[in-house]
Structure 1
Amino acid sequence: MNTELMALLDEKAIVDVTIRYATALDTKDWQRLRECFTPDAVARYGVIADCTGVDAIIEQVSDGMDYLAQTQHILTNHVVLLDGDSATCVCYLQAQHLRDNAKPSWNFILAGQYSDSLVRTGDGWRISERSLELWWTAGDPAVIARD
């Protein structure tokens, strides 16, 4: 296959992994989330938590989101750099969290940047390391605090 075409397909597959991650969060589909990471992945969620291993990542994320009524994670401005079977991807994040559908004004928004390291596996591209750099927040942080 043409090298340029392969690079475009790899870039699309990598962006698709990041979008699959966001969709998994918003649908609370923890199996889909598992498919975004290598088994030994590391996630650094800034002031929220650091996790090692896909099970720890899923536990952290699901524990922090299962009680929310709705979330919307929007990822943009993807920059992918390929290096054979390894890659990096940086993208912007804006995530809205709604605690109670009956009170849509009770929300919390955070924005920042994900920086990922990825590897090509037999099942496609997977995140091996993810870091969240938090840039700003708006709204009520109590929305994401567990009662």
Structure 2
Amino acid sequence: MTATQDDLAELRSELRSLRDRAEITRLCDRYALHLDKSRHTDTWLDTVFTDDALLTFPMGQYKGMAGLTRFQEMARTTFERTHHISSNYDIELDTDRAQVRAHLMAAHVPSRDDTGRHFMIGGHYDAEAVRTPSGWRIRELTFDLVWTSGDPPKAEH
């Protein structure tokens, strides 16, 4: 059996779709990993987000790299440690754009000396990812908080 040009084009298209989905999944995993492991620096932000990214959380919106840096600084000064888990990626591809819906759970620990006191959250996020010359990046992310447990942060944050 010999593959036709149409067969080859279909295979290329399927391969690109699978590769894009794998790269977007890695992007979402990289985001969750950096929130915990790279929390003391902002150098990773451009490996996950576009320069004009918009994050929307229950406590506010953060736009562009300056806004993302402000959000990270708030997290650094509120919690000494965090542990994020992201999963169940539903990815809808549209050429160089993708819509992602995923689940997110996170533990926020104010003091490494008192790990029993913590603030837990759970919910899901909707994100728009775009293909850039540097690979897939998140342009917009909205987090929908479903539940909380434990000691929430003080109101000044």
TM-score by length of 1: 0.91
Question: Which of 75, 86, 104 is 1:93 aligned to?
Answer: 104
Please show how residues 72-83 of structure 1 align to structure 2 within 5 Å: 72-83=83-94
Give 5+ residue unaligned stretches, structure 1.
Answer: none
Give the Cα–Cα distance (whole angstroms) in 1 for the partners of residues 156 and 109 of structure 2: 13
1:67 Cα deviation after fit: 4.6
Letter in 1 for 2:55: A
Unmatched 5+ residue regions in structure 2?
Answer: 1-10
- Helix, strand or coil: the match of 1:30? coil
1:141 corresponds in structure 2 to 152
SS in 1 for 2:25: helix
- In structure 2, relative to structure 1, the CA distance for the partners of 1:58 and 1:34 (3 Å cut) is farther
Shift of 1:48: 1.4
Structure 1 letter corresponding to 2:140 = E
Q: Percent identity?
A: 31
From the CA coordinates, give the structure whose radius of gyration is larger.
2
Could you give the per-residue CA deviations for residues 29-85 of structure 1, whole angstroms, max 9, x where no partner exists?
Answer: 42112321111111111x211011122112212222245221100001000010000
- 1:79/1:91 contact within 8 Å kept: yes
* Residue 22 of structure 2, aligned match among 12, 37, 48: 12
**Aligned ranges for residues 41-80 of structure 1 at < 5 Å?**
41-45=53-57, 47-80=58-91
Distance 1:62 1:8 in 2: 36
TM-score (norm 2): 0.85
- Structure with larger RCO (C-alpha < 8 A, sep 6+): 1
Residue deviations 1:2-23 (CA, integer Å, cap 9, x gap): 1111111101111111111111
Q: What is the root-mean-square deviation in Å for CA atoms of aligned residues?
A: 1.7
The one of 20, 25, 28 equivalent to 2:35 is 25
Confirm whether residue 106 of structure 1 aligns to residue 117 of structure 2.
Answer: yes
Q: Which is worse superposed, 12-21 or 24-33?
A: 24-33
